Amino acid sequence: MVVGVCHINLSIPGVHSLKEKRHALKSLTTRVRGSFNASVAEVGDNDVWQSAVIGVAVVGNERGFVNSVLDNIIDFIEGLKSVEIVSHEIEIMNY
């Protein structure tokens, strides 16, 4: 079993309240879950309006597959107009 985890720091320009931030993140996490069958959650900067930290987890049988899915998720998020990736870190573990 291979587990891949990605820690993503996001900037969310144009939001002016936590309600707007929650709406933007809800849309993002729902789309990532539906498109990539990955687990996604907000894991930091919960009370900051224009930034967020999300965690993404993918489980598979092959390291290459898990890495590819995480790379595709990063590319997908980079293509969105509502958020900008400030930084990201991928870790892949074999069990």
Q: Are strands 39-44 and 2-11 parallel, antiparallel or unpaired?
A: unpaired
- Given this model, what pLDDT does residue 48 score? 86
Residue 88 has pLDDT above 90, yes or no: yes
pLDDT at 43: 93
- CATH number, domain at 45? 3.30.70.1120
Instruction: Please state the rounded mean pLDDT for residues 58-81.
Output: 95
Pick the closest to residue 80 from 5, 13, 1, 18 (CA basis).
13
Question: For 16-69, what is each residue's pLDDT tens digit?
Answer: 999 999 999 999 999 999 999 999 999 988 788 899 999 999 999 999 999 999
Beta bridge partners of 39: 57
Q: Tell me the residue range of the domain where 67 lies.
A: 2-94
Please list the residues that pair with 74 across neighbouring strands.
Answer: none
Q: Which helix (H) or strand (E) holds 45?
A: none
Give pLDDT, residue 62: 95
Q: In the prediction, which pLDDT does 47 show?
A: 84
Q: What pLDDT digit, counting tens, does each position of 5-19 carry? A: 999 999 999 889 999
pLDDT at site 55: 97
Q: How many domains does the chain have?
A: 1
Q: What is the pTM of this model?
A: 0.90
